[in-house]
Structure 1
Amino acid sequence: MTAAAAPGARTSTGYRYVVVWFLAIVYTFNFMDRQIMSILAEPIRKDLGLSDTQLGMLTGLAFAAFYTTFGIPVAWLADRARRVWIMAAACGIWSVFTAACGLATNFTQLALARVFVGVGEAGGSPPSYSLISDYFPPKERGTGLAIYSLGVPAGSMVGSALGGWVAANHGWRMAFFVVGLPGVLLALLLLVVVREPKRGGLDALAAGHAAHPPSPPIGAAIASFFANRTLVLTAISSGLSAFVGYAMLSWNPAFLIRVKEMSLKDVAVYYSLVMGITGMIGTFGAGFIVDRLGQIDRRWYAWVPAIAFTLSVPFFAGFLLAPNWRVALAFLAVPALMNNMYLAPAITVIQNAVAPAQRTVSSAILLFILNLVGLGGGPVFVGMISDHAKPQYGEHSLLIGLAALFPMIALTVGAHLAASLSIGRDKRLADAL
C-alpha cells in the first residue's frame, strides 16, 4: 500500500501507533545522520587537521544554515502536497549525502556534504509533525509527538554506539557509509507503511464542524506566526534550549576523549547508553507529563522545561569538574535527561495553537529558529571559545568553552517562564486543550 489519503478522520488506535513508531524510526535515522559528526569529531580533526571552530561549523552551522533555509518552503509544499512522498524523498537525500561525507578529503568537501544532509533533513520533521497531528486528537497529541521525538535520543545513542564502534575498528569514513546507506531502504519502506491521512480531520471532529480553511499563502502563514506572542516566545525559548542542548551534544564526546581521557570504544559503549536511555526518558516523560498537567494548567507546557533546565545546572558543573570519565558520565545523566524535556511540549503548543492548514509551515518556522539559534550557534560558540582559550589552557580549553553555557542556561529558563505567561492567556490553546 502506498501513501494514499486515508478517507476519514478516524483511524484505528493500533495503526496510528504503527505510524508514529515508524516515523520515530525515520527520525532516529534523521538524527543519527545529523549527529554522527559529533562522535567522529576527534578522528576527523586529527586526520584532516581541523580547528575546533571548523568542527563547530561542521557539527552545526554548515548543516543548520541550509536545514533552516529549506525547511520553510518544503513545509509550505507539504501543506499542499502528499507529506509522505516529501518525507521519503527527503530521507533518501540525507542518507546518500551522509554516506558521501565518508568520501571527503578536506574541510570544504565535508562541509558541502553536510550542507546537502541539511537540505534533505529539512523535509523530515515538519511533515511528520503534521501527520502525527492528523492521527492523534488534540488531548493525546503530546504523547504522540513525544513518541516521535524519541528519535532524538535514540538517534544520538545508535549513532554514538554504531558510529563509534565502526570508527574505532574500521575508520571514520566507513562509519559514514554504515550509518548513511540504510536510510535509502527506509525511504522506500516509508511509502509502504504510512498512509496519507485527511488533513485536519480530528480537529474538525473536536471542534464540531466538518472542515478547516485551506492553507494560506506562505507569506501570510509566516506573518501569522510572528503576530502570535505564544508562538514567538515558544520559538525563542526552544531556540535557547537547543543552543545549550546542541552545544553539549556536539562537544561532550570530544570533551570526554580530550579532557577525561576516555577511549573512542568506551564512548561508543558507555556514553551512547547514558545519552540514549536518559534522553528517551526525558523526551517521552515530558510529553506524558504535559499531556496530564496541561489539563490542569496550560502553563506547564513551559514550566516543565524551565524546571528541567534549572535542575540540570549543578549536575552539568559536576560533569565538567569530575576527576575521571566514569564520574563525569554519572553526572551527565541528569542534564542529558533534563535537556530533552523542552521539545515535545514546544511542538505540542505549536501544533495546537494554529489551524491545521498552517501546522507544517508553523513547525518549520519553529525548527528554523530552533536550529539556526541552537544547532547553528551552540556548537560554533563553544568551539570559538575553546580555540580562544587553547593557547593558555591547551586541551582543557574545551572545558572553558562548555562552561560558557551556564549564562545561556539562565537565559533559557527565563525565556520559558516568559512563554508560560503567554501560554496561560492563549485562547486557541484554551479551546484545544
Structure 2
Amino acid sequence: MHMQHTASATGEVVRVHGDVRAYAWVVFALTVGLLLSDYMSRQVLNAVFPMLKSAWGLSDTQLGSLSSVVALMVGVLTFPLSVLADRWGRVKSIVLMAAMWSLATLGCAVSTNYGEMLLARAFVGIGEAAYGSVGIAVVLSIFPVRLRSTLTAAFMAGGAFGSVMGMAIGGAVAAHLGWRSAFGAMAVLGIVLVIVYRILVTEGRIAPLQSAAGHDSKAASPGMRTSFRALMKGLFSTRSIRCAYVGSGFHLLVPAALWAWMPSFLNRYYGMAPGKAAMAAAAFVLVTGLGMVVCGNLTDRISRNAPGRKWLTAIVFCLACFMLLAIAFRMPAGPLQLALIAAGMFFSAGATGPSGAMVANLTPPAIHASAFATLTLANNLLGLAPAAILTGIVADRIGLLGALQLVPFAPLLAAIVFAIGRRHYAHDLDRVAALREEASRNTQATTTKADS
C-alpha cells in the first residue's frame, strides 16, 4: 500500500508512517481473527445438526431456530450496542463482546436439552450483536478510503471462512469426540483470541493509524456525541442508502440458508455421514468466502473512476446467483448439480463489499459504527435471521429440496432494490457532502461544550 507524504515530510515521518502501516495490518489480522471466532462459534452448530436431531429428536423447525436465534439477537441489538460502542470505545467493546460469545459457546457445550441450548445460543447472539459493525468501523478507520470495497469484502469474508472452519473443524471434532467437544473447542479458541487482542490493541495505539490514513481520529474516539436527530439523518436521509441496507439484507438470505442446511442436504440427498457432510459443506462455504473477496476487489477496480458502478456490480452478482442456484436445485443429484451450487454460492454474498462501500460513502465517518450497525441490522432481520428457520419451516412441509428451490428468489429481489438505489446515488452523494459538513460542525460544537 503506497503512502502519500507532503514535500515537507521528513525521513522520521516516513519511517513512522511505515511503522503505522505495519501495525494497521496487525490490527486488521486480529480483528478478522475475532470475526473468524465469531462465525466458528455461530456455525459449528450446523455441523452437528444431524447429531442433535438424533439425540434430542428435534424437528427441522427447532434446528433452524437454534441457528436463527443468533442472527435474531444480532439484528435486534446491533444498533443500540454499536451506538454505545461509538461512545464508550470500540476496542473495549470488541473485547467485551468476544468474551461474551466465547463463554456462551461454552454454555452450548454443557446444555442438556433444547431449551438450554436455545438460551445459550441467544447469548452467543448477544455477544456477537455489534461485533461486525464495530469491527469493520475500526478497520475502515485505519486504511485509505480507496480500499473500502476490498477491505469490507475481505473483512466480511472472514465470516465465510470462520463458517468453513466452524463446520469443518467442528464436524471433525464431533465425529471423534462428540458434539459437546465441538462447541468447547470453539469456546477455547475465542477466549485465547480475546486475551491476545486485549494485550495488543488499544484505542490509543490505533489513533495514529487513523491520522496516517487521513481520517479524523477524534471522530471515532470514545466520548464523542452525536445528537439523535443528526444520527438518524445521517443514517437514513437518502433513498440510495436505504436501498443499500435493504438490498444487502435480502441478498444474504441465500448464503445464510445454504450455510445452515448444506450439511443436512448432503446427508439426506447424497447419503453422506454427518462428519463427511459437514466437511463437504464447508467447502461450499469456502467458495462463498472466496467469492466475497474476489467480487469486492473486482468492484474496487471497476468503480475506481466511476463510483456508481458499485451498484452495477452488486446487481450483476445477485442476478448471477439467482440464475445459477435456480437451475441447480431443479437438477437431479450429481456432480453437475454440485458444481452449479458452488458457482451460485461464489456470487451469493458478492454484493457484501459493494454494499459496505456504499454505506461508508453515504454516511459521515463519525457515525460509521452506527451506520454499519444499521447495515448489520438489515442483514440479519431481512436475510440472516429468517433464512434458517424459514427454510426449516418450509422443509417440514414440502421437504428440504423444495425449500431450497425457493431460496434463490431472494437475490432477484435484492437486484431490483439495488437498481432503484443506483438511480439516486449520484444525487444523494451531494446531499451526503452537506450532511458531513453539518456533522462536523455539530461535533466541534459538542467538543467545545464538553471542554468548557
TM range (shorter): 0.7 to 0.9
Q: Give the equivalent residue in structure 1 for 2:244.
A: 234
Please tell me whether residue 253 in structure 1 is matched to residue 263 in structure 2.
yes
Please tell me whether residue 134 in structure 1 is matched to residue 141 in structure 2.
yes
In structure 2, the CA distance between the partners of 1:430 and 1:70, relative to structure 1 (3 Å rule), is closer
Offset of residue 314 of structure 1: 4.1
Offset of residue 83 of structure 1: 1.0
Q: Give the equivalent residue in structure 2 for 1:393.
A: none
Contact 1:222 1:362 in 2 (8 A): no
Q: Which moved more, 1:420-429 or 1:228-237?
A: 420-429
Contact 2:43 2:260 in 1 (8 A): yes
**2-side partners of 1:420 and 1:15: how far apart?**
36
Q: Which amino acid aligns with 1:132?
A: V
Offset of residue 210 of structure 1: 9.6
Q: Deviation string for 1:183-211 (max 9, x for gaps)?
A: 011111112232423399559947xx997
**2-side partners of 1:290 and 1:140: how far apart?**
10
In structure 2, the CA distance between the partners of 1:211 and 1:105, relative to structure 1 (3 Å rule), is closer
Contact 2:111 2:117 in 1 (8 A): yes
Please tell me whether residue 299 in structure 1 is matched to residue 308 in structure 2.
yes
For residues 305-384 of structure 1, what are the structure 2 equivalents within 5 Å? 305-324=314-333, 326-384=335-393
Contact 1:75 1:360 in 2 (8 A): yes
Q: Which moved more, 1:10-19 or 1:106-115?
A: 10-19
In structure 2, the CA distance between the partners of 1:269 and 1:50, relative to structure 1 (3 Å rule), is closer
Secondary structure at 2:207 match in 1: coil
Aligned match of 1:15 in 11, 23, 44?
23
Q: Which amino acid aligns with 2:382?
A: V
Please tell me whether residue 45 in structure 1 is matched to residue 47 in structure 2.
no
Q: Give the equivalent residue in structure 2 for 1:35.
A: 43
Secondary structure at 1:17 match in 2: helix
**1-side partners of 2:219 and 2:112: how far apart?**
52
Q: Give the equivalent residue in structure 2 for 1:94.
A: 101
Q: Which amino acid aligns with 2:361?
A: N
Q: Give the equivalent residue in structure 2 for 1:403.
A: 405
Q: Which moved more, 1:41-50 or 1:191-200?
A: 191-200
TM-score, length of structure 1 as denominator length: 0.88
Q: Which amino acid aligns with 1:24?
A: V
Aligned match of 1:75 in 82, 85, 93?
82
Offset of residue 275 of structure 1: 2.2
Contact 1:222 1:361 in 2 (8 A): no
**2-side partners of 1:358 and 1:136: how far apart?**
17
**2-side partners of 1:408 and 1:42: how far apart?**
26
Q: Which amino acid aligns with 2:427?
A: R
**2-side partners of 1:212 and 1:67: how far apart?**
25
**1-side partners of 2:347 and 2:85: how far apart?**
32
Q: Deviation string for 1:111-149 (max 9, x for gaps)?
A: 111110000001311211211121112112222222222
Secondary structure at 2:111 match in 1: coil
Q: Give the equivalent residue in structure 2 for 1:25.
A: 33
Contact 1:92 1:187 in 2 (8 A): yes
Q: Which moved more, 1:196-205 or 1:364-373?
A: 196-205
**2-side partners of 1:82 and 1:210: how far apart?**
12
In structure 2, the CA distance between the partners of 1:147 and 1:405, relative to structure 1 (3 Å rule), is closer
**1-side partners of 2:242 and 2:260: how far apart?**
26
* Higher Rg of the two aligned structures: 2
**1-side partners of 2:225 and 2:425: how far apart?**
24
Q: Give the equivalent residue in structure 1 for 2:123.
A: 116
Q: Give the equivalent residue in structure 1 for 2:396.
A: 387
Offset of residue 371 of structure 1: 0.4
For residues 150-299 of structure 1, what are the structure 2 equivalents within 5 Å? 150-196=157-203, 197-198=206-207, 201=210, 205=214, 214-218=224-228, 220-276=230-286, 278-299=287-308
Q: Which moved more, 1:39-48 or 1:114-123?
A: 39-48
Q: Deviation string for 1:139-178 (max 9, x for gaps)?
A: 1222222222221121111111101111122221211111
**2-side partners of 1:321 and 1:99: how far apart?**
40
Secondary structure at 1:295 match in 2: coil
TM-score, length of structure 2 as denominator length: 0.84
In structure 2, the CA distance between the partners of 1:194 and 1:429, relative to structure 1 (3 Å rule), is farther
**RMSD (CA atoms):** 2.6
Q: Give the equivalent residue in structure 1 for 2:4.
A: none
Q: Give the equivalent residue in structure 2 for 1:426.
A: 428
Q: Which amino acid aligns with 1:192?
A: I
Contact 1:274 1:329 in 2 (8 A): no
Contact 1:67 1:121 in 2 (8 A): yes
Secondary structure at 1:426 match in 2: helix
The aligned length equals 414
**2-side partners of 1:418 and 1:167: how far apart?**
46
Q: Deviation string for 1:366-397 (max 9, x for gaps)?
A: 111110111221112211111122xxxxxxx1
**2-side partners of 1:199 and 1:427: how far apart?**
28
Q: Give the equivalent residue in structure 1 for 2:444.
A: none
Secondary structure at 2:252 match in 1: helix
**2-side partners of 1:212 and 1:151: how far apart?**
26
5+ unaligned residues in a row in structure 2: which ranges? 1-15, 437-452
Q: Which moved more, 1:219-228 or 1:83-92?
A: 219-228
**2-side partners of 1:116 and 1:73: how far apart?**
16
